[in-house]
Chain A
């Protein structure tokens, strides 16, 4: 068991595993999204206060969850890279950051489009929206830091330190924004009544799984690209069929 994990943690052995997993997660994401959208648009009833526009939550809430979840996962892999110097962990953290930033962007975009008809404004200083914006800055900071550092190993470790500091800070940031928000009686949106329709909840959960599967597929695909970039002069990379095909072609 332990030996297997050790073997898997080398980029060379994980590369084909990731390649085999990607189609399953991609197909899974597509099927789950189809079910989720059917639940969200076909089954769930119209909200009698907000009308149809609440249907944005089927992408807003999952992307917001994923944006936070992915940050924690990224920090986890970063910590492993920092603690044990495992190369694959650093690559994993590197692969997660752009998808996490995109999820944060989707959450902000959809939140603002939901807010316009609901609050009458695209942007409200709501605690969750504000925290999400700061989360986007944190993601962009990590991506920018990696861009600025040329050396991949230094980048792995520096980004790990930054993401760990970020993980400690995110709850504090959220709490502080909420604190500030209550003091100033800011806006906040809730669905009608305390109990959400079961079909709405089901749709949201299924869509969350769809986003989750999609993120895994996207991260693994990016991971494969990163492995190729960083192990470019390893013998096993030279032997890969896709690399040989690229060598045969022009350029």
Chain B
């Protein structure tokens, strides 16, 4: 009774999950950097207000 295929299934899927997570996190960070680059505020156009009266 050695059941190596069960061991392989457990370790293999664990490895797969880890690889998927690492790739997903890297992709997410690249996407976030792109969005950040696209939405970086233009200087001087920041939201403002004015108060008048009294």
**A residues with CB within 8 A of B:** 50-53, 55-56, 59-60, 63, 98-99, 102, 105-106, 109-110, 113-114, 116-117, 214, 218, 221-222, 224-226, 228-229, 231-233, 235, 237-238, 240, 242-247, 249, 251
Contacts and interface: CB of A to CB of B under 8 A. Distances in A.
A113 B7 CA distance: 8
Contacts of A251: 34, 38
A232 B36 contact: yes
Interface residues of B, number: 31
Contacts of A117: 1, 3, 6
Contacts of B25: 218, 221-222, 225
Interface of B: 1-4, 6-7, 9-11, 13-14, 17-18, 21-22, 25-26, 28-41
Given A59-B10, A233-B36, A238-B40, 20 more contacts: A51-B3, A56-B10, A56-B11, A59-B11, A59-B14, A106-B17, A109-B10, A109-B13, A214-B18, A225-B32, A226-B32, A229-B32, A229-B36, A235-B41, A237-B36, A242-B33, A243-B36, A243-B37, A246-B34, A247-B38
B6 A102 contact: no
23 contacts: A53-B6, A56-B7, A59-B14, A106-B13, A109-B10, A110-B10, A117-B3, A218-B21, A225-B31, A225-B32, A226-B32, A228-B29, A228-B32, A228-B33, A229-B32, A233-B36, A233-B39, A233-B41, A238-B36, A243-B36, A244-B37, A251-B34, A251-B38
Identify whether the interface residues of B are mostly helix, strand, loop, or mixed: helix
A105 B10 CA distance: 11
A38 B28 CA distance: 33
B18 to A, nearest CB: 7
